[in-house]
Homo-oligomer: A and B are copies of this chain.
């Protein structure tokens, strides 16, 4: 659905927004290692998010990426729009150039409900909501050590 890149973006923002991370800046190396995402690739993604104002950064010693006043209230759809664009919600399931309710493909109506449900979920969910889930222990950003060491 959303690209891998966009998933990385969301995970990066949520990482910075976790309670114990909020007060500090975090270098790209640290973030990438913790989330197991290629360092320079994640770097570019976070730079995009800084340009959009979703997170902030400072260069130089003791610099790094960090949350700003806006971060936790950012709806996920804003991140999706920044990285993938909203066009992903309009693509025809069967690969036709155009597909809409006035000229639908045979799967259009079948999946239109799901598609708008997904869209609405991205509209309604904010970064803060994902943070809460993680702090409650209901979900995880990276494969938890518990699972990693159990192998």
Contact = CB atoms under 8 A, between A and B. Distances in A.
Contacts of A133: 106
A32 to B, nearest CB: 13
Q: What interface size band does chain A fall in?
A: 35 or more
Assembly stoichiometry (copies): 2
A130 B110 CA distance: 10
Contacts of A107: 10, 130
A117 interface: yes
B143 A96 contact: yes
A29 interface: no
A50 interface: no
Interface of A: 1-2, 4-5, 7-8, 10-11, 14, 36-37, 92-98, 103-111, 114, 117-118, 121, 125, 129-130, 133-134, 138-144, 147
- A-B pairs, 7 with minimum CB distance: A7-B95, A7-B94, A106-B130, A4-B95, A106-B139, A106-B133, A104-B139
Contacts of A1: 1, 93, 111
